[in-house]
A and B are shown apart, each in its own frame.
Chain A
Amino acid sequence: MLSALTQLLIFQLAGEVIARGLALPIPGPVLGMLFLFVALLIKGGPGENLQTTSQNLLQHLSLLFVPAGTGIMVHLHRVSDEWLPLLASLLVSTLATLIVTALVMKLCQRSPAASGEAS
């Protein structure tokens, strides 16, 4: 567990250093995730150690959003000022994204090149 946690932290650190060093608009941990993903592709999968530790860490991933989410208390005035654009944006955007994604996927599946594998 300790070595797996160290691995995760090293990937995060690498992501953080490179994202900041090159002033990339990507968050460091996300870059770290991409590095680990590439490493897994090269290595052909995670070791048992990393697999178990990650599963434990991700099992209650939602808990980790709670401290930041509670920060909404500082921005409550904004939510009450701008509730209409916020709500409309979420509704319209979620609906549009569902429809566009589904239609584009359907179109691509029907193209002659993919039709063989589609079913």
Chain B
Amino acid sequence: MTQEISQIWVYLSASPLLGLTVTLLAYQGAFAIYQRTGNNPLANPVLIAVSVLVLFLTLTGTTYETYFAGAQFVHFLLGPATVALAIPLYTQFRRVRSMLLPVVAGLLAGSLTAIVSAVLVARLLGASTSTQLSLAPKSVTTPIAMGIAERIGGIPSLTAVLVIVTGILGAVGARYVFDAMKLRDPAIRGFAIGIASHGIGTARAFRSTNRAAPLPRWPWA
């Protein structure tokens, strides 16, 4: 019996089927937990799924390369999905046009602050160059940030995790910052959260400013 199981395991661990299946299972389980907490940003589904998978792979002694041979089929869709972001961008662009000057100025100043302050703090505290480069795009939405990290010499998987933690920080903390600044304009609050911590922060901002409105399914995470 145990020999049969180990033979099945030998087959499974060499086939892409397992990596693909556990990825989908882990994500769906994590997403169910996230929904059960009322979409609490602390229960971020990617963070939960990644933790479960790392634990599973470590316990079964599976290497990341073996796992990725299966998971790459999911990973591949990141490219076309990034291109598809042009559609929500287009929809939002038409809404944003009426306040173009504050938005463009806020975007430039905010993005520059995000990049420079992240790299500077890491450098001052002695982080390695590739860690600094992985931090640089952390305020951008995950698929774009990972692409940038790869391009500039950072580590895309580290960036993915940093982006998500940044989103959670903004989602949890932004309202206290704005309240301390006595800033009430919901347009500015929403946009500033978007610049600092992309969609994870913004999804939370929408919930807290306008509970009656249906939750926009913004995919920026």
| Interface residues, chain A, with chain B CB atoms under 8 Å away | 5, 8-9, 11-12, 15, 25-30, 32-34, 36-37, 40-41, 45-46, 50-51, 53-55, 57-76, 78-79, 82, 84-86, 88-109, 111, 113-114, 117-118
Which of A70, A86, A100, A106 is within 8 Å of B157, CB to CB?
A: A70
CB < 8 Å neighbour of A105 from B86, B124, B174, B192:
B192
Contact, CB under 8 Å: B87 / A66: no
CB <8 Å contact, B82 and A33: yes
Select which of A11, A15, A67, A103 is within 8 A of B71 by beta carbon. Answer: A67
Stretch of B6-14, B35-43, B110-118, B207-215 with 4 or more beta carbons under 8 angstroms from chain A: B110-118
Residues in B whose Cβ lies below 8 Å from that of A92: 117-118, 121
B75 in complex: contacting residue of A41, A54, A64, CB < 8 Å: A64
Nearest Cβ distance between residue B154 and chain A, in whole angstroms? Answer: 11
Residue interface mask B133-152, A partner, CB < 8 A = 1: 00100110011101110111
Report if B61 contacts A (CB, 8 A).
Answer: no
Residues of B close to A118: CB separation below 8 A: 99
Q: Is the CB of B160 within 8 A of A5?
A: no
A75-B158 in contact (CB<8A): yes
Please, which residue of chain A has its CB at the minimum distance from the CB of B73?
A67
14 pairs, A vs B, C-beta closer than 8 Å = A12-B80, A25-B151, A33-B84, A64-B81, A69-B46, A72-B157, A72-B161, A73-B54, A78-B158, A85-B124, A96-B113, A96-B117, A98-B196, A101-B110
Are B160 and A65 in contact, with the CB atoms below 8 A? yes
Chain B residue numbers with a CB within 8 Å of A98 are 170, 174, 177-178, 192-193, 196
B143 touches A61 (CB 8 A): yes
* Those 6 A-B pairs whose CB atoms lie nearest each other, nearest first: A27-B147, A71-B157, A101-B110, A67-B71, A85-B125, A36-B86
- Does the CB pair B98–A8 fall under 8 Å? no
How far, in angstroms, from A29 to B142 measured CA to CA in the complex?
13
Which of A32, A68, A78 is in CB contact (< 8 Å) with B160?
A: A68
Minimal beta-carbon separation of A84 from chain B (angstroms): 6
Query: A90 CA to B124 CA in the complex, in Å?
Result: 13
Docked complex Cα distance between A58 and B196 (Å): 21
Pairwise interchain contact B99-A109, C-beta atoms closer than 8 A: yes
